[in-house]
Structure 1
Amino acid sequence: MTRAVPPSHTRHRPPSHTRPRHTPPRHTPPRHTRPGRTRPRHRPPRRPRMASAEPPEHGPATTAGGRSPWVVMGAVLLGTYLVVINTTVLGVALPHIDRELGGTAPIDVDWVVTTYLLAVVLVQPATGWLGDRFGRRSVYLVALLMFGVGSIVGALAPTMPLLLGGRVLQGLGGGALMPIGMAIVYGLFPAHKRGQALGIWGMALMAAPTLGPPFGGWMVTAASWRWVFAALVVISAIGLLVAWRVLPTATRTDPRPLDIGGWVLAGLAMPAIVLLARNAQSWGFASVETFALAALCVVLLAVLVGRSLRRANPLIELRAYTVPTFAAGSVVLILVTMTQFATINYLPVELQVVRGLSAQTVGLLIVPNALAAAAMMPLAGRLADRVGSRLPVSVGHALGGASLVGLGLLSPETPIEIVVALMAVMGMSNGLSLMPTTVAAMNSLPERFTGQASALLSLTRQLAGAIGVAVFAGVLVAALGSVAPAGVDTAEAAADAQSGYNLVFLIAAGLRLAASVVSLALPGRRRMAELQNARAAEAS
């Protein structure tokens, strides 16, 4: 049955013998115009393209080996747990290390901590490229092996320089473990479960610092500081064996070239910032050394930024900050990290200086802070998946601001139970704020930038913590003459010291207020669903 054609659409066709054999082609208007339009359409300028970097893994519901992603995340946690506990476990061992190795070289024992931090910020800018180029599983295993070897060197070191060499190896391995581990966990789960997964991952990591001081103190008292490193060797070996069996093998790698010049610039700029933050107080904030190093940091960062924006495949993908959600999330993380380090570092000093409490007692009083943060992280992750990041982060800022104001209004006579309660509220606020912000920032970028985004966020937090410690140290030095003034043995002296520490926490409350304003740019329910669907479409 033939279909009738409306008369208005019929066309007279001459017989075939009268049609020319070579009919000239019909004129087709250019694609940018249409009938009745004489001017080309206006096309908005394209946004700068980020470097292409296909990641090795893409978030399946189950891994290539058929294992549950929760099992794989447990293996990743075993290694990354080392990095977190390593930052607190050696604090109680430093005096013992100084007594045994201090005479082997004219090196201050504080370099045991500083050397590790310098190695961390040296390797972290390149972890995105390393994971994309060689596969996250391979980089994770090598980093864990390097951390274990550094622990062996530390356990056997007969001199301070050899101990510092072991700390460099630990830092190079540990600096890669955290961002690579987060990228692996992020890629294991579908987009709508990543908040929950990162929340549980963060819960375990938040609990780690509370175990460091008691574990280190017990090891040092019962045996020797060397047994702290020996324990890290054992845990590294177990984590390496488990990861070897459990972690999925990369299916694709990206052969893009390494930006060696960018790594050299970052390798100079990031350690310079850490050194400036740690030494500005002892040098004097107005000293020639401080100004010279600060100027060097500015120049190096300016050259690094200019180079990164010009290259197609930069080491650090700074064009990620052109994505509003990623930029807002990064700013929120910077401000929250600065306030977090203010409470972790200077509230214990305040309690010892103003109230005369022992270091062991103060350590126990801080435990509820970490436990409250760990307890809130899974809830915060689920909320981020279901209702977006804006709600839990806003609630977290409200709790954090209230807690910091309370800490800023303390007096020497305030009951210690109130201080502990305020610290617990601060822990809840950090648990509600950190992971939802991280999930929003990473979901805002295409899957192929997971490794670089994870490295960039980890590096941002490292630098924010170092800068925050330096800024608040400067506030205390200006107000009290020292971070921990001596001779606080009268009620008047205690009140004066209390006012200096209160100023620190009130400034931190202002930073938390600024973070609450910036967090309004984080995605709500609808926008988070759009981001999840976009990431799920890329992974399918």
Structure 2
Amino acid sequence: MSTDTGSPPAGPAAGSPAADKLDRGVLRVAGVVVIGAIMSILDVTVVSVALPTLQREFDASYATVAWTMTAYTLALAAVIPITGWAADRFGTRRLYLASIVLFVAGSALCSFAWDIGPLIVFRALQGLGGGMLMPLGMTIMTRAAGPERVGRVMAVLGVPMLLGPIGGPILGGWLIDAASWQWIFLINVPIGAVALVAAWRVLPKDTSQPSEPFDVVGMLLLSPGLALFLYGVSTIPEEGTAAAAKVLVPGLIGLVLVLAFVAHALRKANALIDLSLFKNRHVTIAVITMTLFSVAFMGAMLLFPSYFLQVRQEDTLSAGLLLAPQGLGAMLTMPIGGRLTDKMGPGKLVLAGIVVISAGMAVFTQVGADTSYPVLLGALFVMGMGMGVTMMPIMSAALSTLTDHQIARGSTMMNIVQQTAGSIGTAVMSVIFTNRVLDDPAAGTYSAVVQEKVPADQVPPALLEQGRTALAESFGGTYTVALALIVACLVPALFLPRRKSVVKDGQAQGPSVTAMH
């Protein structure tokens, strides 16, 4: 069994003054990791606003151009499972540097793409590098800070996770308007160069250790399995149903491969993903909570900009700016949530966060065609505040009770869960919304006008206004489903630890059974 000892000691001793804050060394490491995370997460969303531009530039259909996003996401899903093993084998610093180089190289190649096919291939290359940055960053930060401060570490990493979906459309829209589509990729080159130099100078050197053998069978089952499953799921909105062959065939093959991996991993001592982590009660509960939460919240987040774009007729840049209160709310509560997680455990915070998010989401269930912007922006701010004390404390619940060697595998597993559940949530909410629109002829007509499939001058103004109201109601009905799923997160969240982990001999032992209630 291997351990990557190329990390600083696991933080100061519990109870010491230094244990109560992130020291300068940890903050420097955090700065490096956040730069890498921002690059990776921003690129998931920044391209979304460029799709119409890419359609015109390459004279391609929307379905073809959408592969620039799908290829990136699938590459992310395929590479994340091997990150835990690779971190143990090559060291987190070496792998982090290699990931940045791969990501930046893919970004530069994207900017020189001469056709849509090469662009899709280069986006996949970009995704291979980007997919490792977040789980590696979580591993590096958790080891640097130690279990006593894992809550604050997760709060730092949560900032790019929240700002990505909000900042991506704003940045993408501005770069396309001010320069050209190539700059949504070229912007990563100088940022990546800074990240590479900073990582080289700041991250501690790796110490070589004997490595466990690579699980080749596991990789051949899990990586393509996840990619095929997510491809099937991501095709649901396009097909409008989960029963389409384009959804079922890859989705079922992917699911069979994933289940085959589970059977394989249960028999193998050093599997690609360590399923023995589920013997840790806190990890299991955190995974269940994260799955439900990601399905509900990530799916709903997709629809927030769509409401502003379609119903309120805002441009892309304005829609992105209107989402800013959500990020501001999260930035306000995240540092507080991180400190409180380390002092009192994640359980109470996550419960409070879910209640706050539910209150904000309840406003959107009643959204209309002309709902006051202050009301909507206030609801987004409230949801952001709840988000700041929800997602990363759930991550903390999983990682704070793991040993140093388990952290890389644990962070990899949590990233797989988040990526998969988020993709499922996006597909589910898209299908629910689409079906609601199709069930209402007025909403369908207005949606066709917005998408320029039907000329506006061919539709009577009264019918247009009726359709706009009906479309807003379709959004409200979909948000109602998201609200129900978020409230359902309260059930597993009740079982998250409600006291901080007990640290013994430098390792987190987790709260006692009595501390759970």
**TM-score with structure 1 length normalisation?**
0.84
Distance of 1:513 and 1:397 partners within structure 2: 7
Distance of 2:183 and 2:349 partners within structure 1: 41
1:447 to 404, 407, 410: 404
Residues 59 and 186 in structure 1, CA contact (< 8 A), matched pair in contact too: no
- 1:35-50 correspondence to structure 2 within 5 Å: none
1:165 to 118, 121, 134: 121
Report which stretch shifted further, 226-235 or 86-95: 86-95
TM-aligned CA deviation for residue 374 of structure 1:
2.2
Residues 151 and 230 in structure 1, CA contact (< 8 A), matched pair in contact too: yes
- 1:101-250 correspondence to structure 2 within 5 Å: 101-102=58-59, 108-250=64-206
Residues 259 and 315 in structure 1, CA contact (< 8 A), matched pair in contact too: yes
Which amino acid in structure 2 is aligned with residue 137 of structure 1?
Answer: R
Alignment of 1:55 onto 2:4: yes
Unaligned ranges ≥5, structure 1: 1-51
> What are the Cα deviations for residues 153-182 of structure 1, in whole angstroms up to 9, with x where unaligned?
111122222222221111000000110011
Distance of 1:102 and 1:176 partners within structure 2: 33
Residues 230 and 251 in structure 2, CA contact (< 8 A), matched pair in contact too: no
Distance of 2:429 and 2:369 partners within structure 1: 20
1:529 to 501, 507, 513: 501
TM-aligned CA deviation for residue 330 of structure 1:
1.1
Alignment of 1:258 onto 2:207: no
Q: Partner of 1:420 in structure 2?
A: 377
Distance of 1:396 and 1:140 partners within structure 2: 32
Look up the SS of the partner of 2:489 in the other structure: helix
Report which stretch shifted further, 467-476 or 125-134: 467-476
Report which stretch shifted further, 237-246 or 179-188: 237-246
TM-aligned CA deviation for residue 254 of structure 1:
4.7
2:485 to 506, 511, 525: 511
Distance of 1:207 and 1:346 partners within structure 2: 16
Q: Partner of 2:446 in structure 1?
A: 487
Distance of 2:24 and 2:474 partners within structure 1: 54
Q: Partner of 1:279 in structure 2?
A: 235
Which amino acid in structure 1 is aligned with residue 446 of structure 2?
Answer: G
Report % sequence identity. Answer: 29
> What are the Cα deviations for residues 188-238 of structure 1, in whole angstroms up to 9, with x where unaligned?
013212211221232254334433333322322222111222221111111
Aligned-CA RMSD value = 2.3
Q: Partner of 1:478 in structure 2?
A: 435
Unaligned ranges ≥5, structure 2: 13-22, 448-462, 510-517
Look up the SS of the partner of 2:423 in the other structure: helix
- 1:343-422 correspondence to structure 2 within 5 Å: 343-422=300-379
Residues paired across the two proteins, number = 480
Distance of 2:102 and 2:161 partners within structure 1: 20
Distance of 1:151 and 1:537 partners within structure 2: 39
TM-aligned CA deviation for residue 425 of structure 1:
1.1
> What are the Cα deviations for residues 257-301 of structure 1, in whole angstroms up to 9, with x where unaligned?
111111111122111121112112323322233333333233212
Look up the SS of the partner of 1:174 in the other structure: helix
Distance of 2:480 and 2:63 partners within structure 1: 37
TM-aligned CA deviation for residue 72 of structure 1:
1.8
Alignment of 1:296 onto 2:253: yes
Distance of 2:437 and 2:63 partners within structure 1: 28
Residues 347 and 494 in structure 2, CA contact (< 8 A), matched pair in contact too: yes
Look up the SS of the partner of 1:108 in the other structure: helix
Q: Partner of 2:45 in structure 1?
A: 88
Distance of 1:359 and 1:74 partners within structure 2: 30
Report which stretch shifted further, 495-504 or 415-424: 495-504
TM-aligned CA deviation for residue 149 of structure 1:
0.7
Distance of 1:267 and 1:537 partners within structure 2: 30
In structure 2, the CA distance between the partners of 1:406 and 1:157, relative to structure 1 (3 Å rule), is same
Distance of 2:471 and 2:54 partners within structure 1: 31
Residues 372 and 428 in structure 1, CA contact (< 8 A), matched pair in contact too: yes
Distance of 1:217 and 1:495 partners within structure 2: 27
Larger Rg: 1
Residues 183 and 451 in structure 1, CA contact (< 8 A), matched pair in contact too: yes
**TM-score with structure 2 length normalisation?**
0.87
In structure 2, the CA distance between the partners of 1:219 and 1:106, relative to structure 1 (3 Å rule), is closer
Residues 107 and 185 in structure 2, CA contact (< 8 A), matched pair in contact too: yes
> What are the Cα deviations for residues 437-490 of structure 1, in whole angstroms up to 9, with x where unaligned?
111111122221100111111111111111001111221233222898442654
TM-aligned CA deviation for residue 67 of structure 1:
7.2
Which amino acid in structure 1 is aligned with residue 399 of structure 2?
Answer: M
Distance of 1:385 and 1:165 partners within structure 2: 43
Residues 206 and 371 in structure 1, CA contact (< 8 A), matched pair in contact too: no
> What are the Cα deviations for residues 372-412 of structure 1, in whole angstroms up to 9, with x where unaligned?
11221111110100011011111101111122222112233
Distance of 1:323 and 1:427 partners within structure 2: 30
Residues 203 and 378 in structure 1, CA contact (< 8 A), matched pair in contact too: no
Which amino acid in structure 1 is aligned with residue 413 of structure 2?
Answer: L
Distance of 1:357 and 1:224 partners within structure 2: 21
Which amino acid in structure 1 is aligned with residue 26 of structure 2?
Answer: P
Q: Partner of 2:460 in structure 1?
A: none
TM-aligned CA deviation for residue 534 of structure 1:
6.4
Q: Partner of 1:334 in structure 2?
A: 291
Q: Partner of 2:264 in structure 1?
A: 307
Distance of 1:282 and 1:242 partners within structure 2: 42
Which amino acid in structure 2 is aligned with residue 403 of structure 1?
Answer: G
> What are the Cα deviations for residues 56-112 of structure 1, in whole angstroms up to 9, with x where unaligned?
3364448xxx97121122122222221122122222222222222236x99811111
Residues 501 and 508 in structure 2, CA contact (< 8 A), matched pair in contact too: no
Report which stretch shifted further, 262-271 or 337-346: 337-346
Residues 274 and 463 in structure 1, CA contact (< 8 A), matched pair in contact too: yes
In structure 2, the CA distance between the partners of 1:331 and 1:500, relative to structure 1 (3 Å rule), is same
In structure 2, the CA distance between the partners of 1:99 and 1:309, relative to structure 1 (3 Å rule), is same
> What are the Cα deviations for residues 98-151 of structure 1, in whole angstroms up to 9, with x where unaligned?
222236x99811111111111100100000000011100000000000001111
Distance of 2:331 and 2:210 partners within structure 1: 35
TM-aligned CA deviation for residue 497 of structure 1:
2.5
